[in-house]
Structure 1
Amino acid sequence: MKARTAIFIDCENVPAKFWPEIEARAAALGAVNLCRLYGDFTEDRLTRWLNIARENCLQPVLQLGGKNAADIAITIAGMDLLHQGKTEAVVLVSSDQDLSPLAHRLRAAGIKVLGLGNANTPVALRKACSEFQELGIAAQDATATKAVAQPAAPKQQAPIPPAPKPVAVKAA
C-alpha cells in the first residue's frame, strides 16, 4: 500500500512551471490525498498557480497577512495533519528555511518529509527534510544523459618532455 501523502506548496517561493514535476515526484512517494497551494493570490505573479489549481482540483489557500503568512499557514496545516494521524508522508514545496522547524517536527513523529525547492534553497531546509530534491534537475539530467550517451573522441596525450640533463657543479 502506498503512503498517504499530503502536498503543501509555498507558491510565493516556487514557480508554477514546476507543477508537473512536483506532481510526479509526489505520486512516486505515495497516494496523494491532499494538495494545498499557499500564497497571496491577489498578486498577478501567482495567476498561473490559480489556473493549475482549477485544472487539477487543488485547494488554494489565500494568505493576505504579509511576508510569512503562507509559511505560518503551512506550518499550522502540517501540525493539524500530524495530530490527525492519517498521513505517512508530506511533500513540502518551498525554498524558504522558515519551514525547517515543521520538517523537523514531522520527521520526529515518523512522517517522511520530501522537500522540493529551487537551487537556492538554504541548507537548513534541505537538512531538515528526510530527503530534498531540487526542482528542474530531472530535465537537466535528461539533457546531460543525452550528451553523455554520445562517445567522445579519444584524447591524444601530450608527449612527455625529455628529462633535463644534469649540470656539473664545480667545487669552490
Structure 2
Amino acid sequence: MADTDTRIALLIDADNAPAAKIDLVLNEVARHGVANVRRAYGNWKSSNLKGWEAVLHEYAIRPIQQFAYSSGKNASDMAMVIDAMDLLYARNLDAFAIVSSDADFTPLVMRLLTDGMKVYGFGEKKTPAPFVNACSKFTYVEALGAVSPDNGHTAATSPKDAQELRGDARLVQMLRSAVDAGSGDDGWTRLDVVGSQIGNQASFDPRNYGYRKLSDLVKAAGLFELKQDGKVIWVRDKPRRRAPAKKKID
C-alpha cells in the first residue's frame, strides 16, 4: 500500500519518454506516494511531442516549455536539473520520479541521493546502465503492464530463463550477497529481508527480468532453495558443487 504522506516530484523528459506509457508510470509512482508535482519538459512547438498533448491534460501534468536554443542540444535537460534542485532546496518533497532514457541525468540522481532522497527512475530498455544503476529503483517502461494470472509473468516483458538469469553475473552476485547478509546459522533468510537488502544496495525491479515478484525470479533462477512458513517465504543458497579434484600423475 502506498504511503500517502510521501510527497514525490514527477519530472518527465518528454523528448526521451513514451507518452503511451505515462498512465502506467503514474500507477507505479502511486505505489510509493503522491505525485504532488507533475511536470513534463520539452519544446512543445515540436511535432515530435504531439503524442504528449492529450495525456498532459488527462493526467494533470504541467508542460514546461523549453526552446532549443542551439541545434543538436537538448535544452530540456538543463531546465529539468534546475527545477529539480529548486524543488530539493524547498524541502517540501520526500522523493523524485524521473522519466527519461538519457544517461545525462545520472549526476542529478546522485546529487538527490546524497540529500537522502529516494529516486525512482523510468525509461526504455535502451537507457544506459549508469542512469539505471544510480536510481534507488529503476523500472523499464516495457516491463510495466498487465500481469498474466497463469504464471505471474509480466505480459509486456518475456521472462528470462534460468540460463539467462544465471548468466547475469551482477544479478547472481546481488542475490547471493543479499541472502548471505540476512542469513542465520542455518543459511535461511526471509525473502522480504533479501528484498530490502537489495533495495539498499542497488537499483532492482524483478519486472525488468519478466517476473512480477522477487520470489518468482528467485525460483526461476534455480540457484536457491525456497520454503514457505505461513505467509513468510524463506530462501537460502543451494550447496554449490565443487569441481572434482585432478588426479596426480606419477
Root mean square deviation, CA, Å: 2.0
Cα shift readout 1:131-164 (whole Å, capped 9, x = no counterpart): 111002133754883789xxxxxxxxxxxxxxxx
Distance of aligned partners of 1:44 and 1:82 in 2 relative to their CA distance in 1, 3 Å threshold: same
Say whether the 8 Å CA contact 2:120–2:136 is kept in structure 1.
Answer: yes
Q: Residue in 2 aligned with 1:121?
A: 127
**Does 1:8 find its partner at 2:17?**
no
Q: Residue in 1 aligned with 2:218?
A: none
Match for 1:117: what amino acid? Answer: G
Distance of aligned partners of 1:143 and 1:123 in 2 relative to their CA distance in 1, 3 Å threshold: farther
**1:33 & 1:26 partners in 2: Cα distance?**
11
Larger Rg: 1 or 2? Answer: 1
Deviation at 1:51, TM superposition (A): 1.5
Normalised by the length of structure 1, the TM-score is 0.79
Q: Residue in 2 aligned with 1:37?
A: 40
The structure 1 segments of at least 4 consecutive aligned residues displaced by more than 4 Å after TM superposition are none
Say whether the 8 Å CA contact 1:2–1:29 is kept in structure 2.
Answer: no
Q: Residue in 2 aligned with 1:145?
A: 151
Number of corresponding residues: 148
Q: 1:106 aligns with which of 91, 109, 112?
A: 112
Larger relative contact order (C-alpha < 8 A, sep ≥ 6)?
A: 1
Identity %: 33
**Does 1:133 find its partner at 2:139?**
yes
Match for 2:7: what amino acid? Answer: R
Q: 1:96 aligns with which of 95, 102, 105?
A: 102
Cα shift readout 1:91-133 (whole Å, capped 9, x = no counterpart): 0000000100110000000010000000010011011111111
Structure 2 unmatched ranges of 5 or more:
155-250
Deviation at 1:62, TM superposition (A): 1.1
Local SS of the residue matching 1:12: helix
Q: Residue in 1 aligned with 2:55?
A: 52
Q: 2:80 aligns with which of 62, 74, 79?
A: 74
Local SS of the residue matching 1:33: strand
